A = this chain, B = another copy of it.
Amino acid sequence: MVNYRDQPLDRTFAALVDPTRRAILARLEREDGLSVSALAEPFAIKLPAVMKHLDVLSDAGLINRSKAGRTVTVRISTDPIRKAMEWLRRYERFWSGSLDRLVTYAESKEAEARRRETRERRGQ
C-alpha cells in the first residue's frame, strides 16, 4: 500500500512548478542574499505577487528571509533541492545507459579509424 502522508517532496516540486519562482531561485544561485525589492526588479509582476511567491518558496524551505531594519534579505536554502535531486537520480541509469552506448560507438569508430590509418601507412 502506498503511503499518502504529506511529503516534503510534494512542496518542493510544487514550489518549482512556477517559472517566476524558478527564476527567483536561479537569480539567488548567481547572487545570494538579495533584498526583496532587488529580487522583484526584473519581473513584470507587482511586489505583492513577488512576496506571495517568496512565501511559497519559504514554506517549501527553499529560501530563508531575515530582516535588518527595513530591509528583508533573501537567501537560498538548497537542502530541499538536494533531496529532490536524490529522488530524481534513481532514473539516471536510463540515460547514462544510452550515454554508455554512445561512448562504445565513439570508441569503435576511433579504433576503426586507427586500423584504417595503420593499413594506409603499410600500403605506402
Query: Copies per complex?
Result: 2
Instruction: Knowing A2-B42, A85-B88 are in contact, say whether A17-B18 is a contact too (CB < 8 A).
Output: no
Task: Give the nearest-CB partner of A32 in chain B.
Answer: B94
A46 at the interface (CB under 8 A from B): no
What size tier do the contact residues of chain A reach?
Answer: 35 or more
Contact B19 A17 (CB under 8 A): no
Contact B29 A90 (CB under 8 A): yes
Contact A76 B90 (CB under 8 A): no
* A positions within 8 Å CB-CB of B: 1-4, 7, 9-10, 13-14, 16-20, 22-23, 25-26, 29, 42-44, 76, 78-79, 81-82, 84-85, 87-92, 94-95
